[in-house]
Amino acid sequence: MSVIGKIVTLLRGSARELGESIVDANGVRIYEQEIRDARDAIAQAKNDLAGVMAKEMQSAREIERMRAEIERLEKLAVEALNKGKPDLAEEVAARIAEQEAELERQTQLHADYALQSNRLKDLIKTSEAKIREHEREVQMAKATESVYKATQSIADNIVSSGSKLVSARESLDRIKKRHEDLADRMTAADTLDRDLGTKALEIKLAEAGIGEDIQRKSKVMARIQARQAAVESKA
Amino acid sequence: MKSLQERLGGLDTVLSARLGGAPVSLQPMPGEIPVIQTVIGGREELPIFITASDAQVLCICYLWKDDEIVPEKRLELLELLLDLNPAIPLSSFGKVEGRYVLFGALSRDARIDDIASDIVALSDNAIDALDALSGYLS
């Protein structure tokens, strides 16, 4: 079964169980050991595969060589018969028989090597798949464990601190209210500044004809009047 | 391997800067598995819990309990959550022991900046989701 399949089965049972059974520490150790074993098996299989494939090629060459040799010997036997030397032909036939037996053995060997190398290739494939599966399993188990144990710590802590999780609506209302309070405070500060702040005071003073701006204007006016008087007296 | 708390060193400062200076506190929780509680000033009701396993760093924000869902709107809500999942940046809806959560998962090699981005997104998304989905809750 897939890892997610297992989690689904456990979830249908009890959520609490999920934290415990999938994450059985012993199970995780077994998987981790299996992952190491599968890695070793792959390394060994790759090594073996190289050797077997070399032998497979060697035996293919040997078979080729023997077939050629048998062909050559048969031609020689025919020649011996043609020259009226049946004894010699017989001798060659005996050699051919030997070669044929050897060829048969070599052919069998070649088939064995081919079978072995296919088996090793399959082993590598299944071991790789096993590693992937177990790694996923261990990772998911650990993630699940971590989440459920963390949840446990959070729940325990909330209980022990005496505080209780309020409902989502209450939380939202409180957060919103705090935001509104802040916004209200900022608006109030602006209004206050306009009504009672430094700007407001200066406006009032100016309206009453008090303040530097007002004095500055009267000083400039006085200066202009003095200059005008000077020009008039010259003229 | 470094402890979770060591790995998250400086996260509060980075977070606070991203949140325009809002106070941020990181607190380890007692328990078998390391969990760090992140509380953001002004959002105290929605703390973010950070935990790590061999494979990932997980940031979780609790949204609502099973029994808070209006029963007749349950199926509609569940389908909506599935529809929303691919659309929400960085966060996904999930369920842990009867509680609905919004969570972000990061590689265990994630940098502090990445974790901070995830937490800020998670916190914003959580408030947004509660606001948008509160009609389904009692």
Cα distance from B59 to chain A (closest Cα, Å)?
A: 10
Q: B134–A175: do the CB atoms touch at under 8 Å? A: no
Percent of chain B with pLDDT over 90: 64
State in Å, rounded, how far the first CA of chain A is from the last one: 117
Q: Which residue has the tokens 């598995």?
A: B33
- pLDDT for A22 beyond 60: no
CATH number of B4-131: 3.30.1460.10
Contact in structure between A30 and A138 (CB atoms under 8 Å): no
Give the orientation angle of helix B112-133 with respect to helix B74-84, to 10 degrees: 150
Say whether B99 sits in a helix, a strand or coil: strand
DSSP states of A170-222: HHHHHHHHHHHHHHHHHHHHHHHHHHHSHHHHHHHHHHTT-SHHHHHHHHHHH
| Rounded (to 5) percent helix, strand, coil in chain B | 40, 30, 30
A115-118: Cβ within 8 A, 24+ apart: A116/A52, A117/A49, A117/A52, A117/A53, A117/A56
Secondary structure (3-state) at B134: helix
Closest residue to A146, CB basis, from B53, B63, B131: B53
Q: Closest to B32 (Cβ–Cβ): which among A153, A167, A176?
A: A153
Distance CA A196, CA B14 (A): 39
What is the token pair recorded at A46?
A: 């790759």
- How many angstroms separate the CA atoms of A218 and A208, rounded? 14
Residue with tokens 């998304």: B125
Reported confidence tier of residue A162, pLDDT bands at 50, 70, 90: very low
Please tell me the distance from the alpha carbon of residue A143 to that of residue A149, in angstroms, as a whole number.
10
Six-digit token string for A72:
């050559």
Q: Is B39 on the interface with A (CB under 8 A)?
A: no
Q: Does residue A5 or residue A33 have the better pLDDT? A: A33
Q: What is the pLDDT of residue B20?
A: 84
What pLDDT, on the 0 to 100 scale, is given for residue A147?
Answer: 80
Contact B36, B27 (CB under 8 A): yes
Residue B15 has pLDDT above 80, yes or no: yes
Residue B45 has pLDDT above 80, yes or no: yes
pLDDT band, residue A1 (cuts 50/70/90): low
pLDDT band per the 50, 70, 90 thresholds, residue B29: confident
B47-104 pLDDT per residue, tens: 999 998 877 899 999 999 999 999 999 999 999 999 999 888 889 999 988 889 999 9
What does each C-alpha distance from A141 to A13, A130, B60 come to in angstroms? 17, 16, 18
ipTM for the assembly: 0.79
CB-nearest partner of A146 from B43, B51, B134: B51
Enumerate the domain spans of chain B.
4-131
Of A21 and B123, more confident: B123
Give residue A16's pLDDT. 53
CATH class of A3-160: mainly alpha
Has this prediction a pTM greater than 0.80?
no
- Between chain A and chain B, the number of residue pairs with CB atoms below 8 A apart is 101
B134: chain A residues, CB-CB within 8 Å: 168-169, 172
Identify the top-confidence range among A61-70, A131-140, A184-193.
Answer: A61-70
Chain B contact for A157 (CB, 8 A cutoff): yes
Chain B residues in contact with A169 (beta carbon < 8 A): 68, 130, 134, 137-138
Q: Which among B51, B56, B134 has the least Cβ separation from residue A172?
A: B134
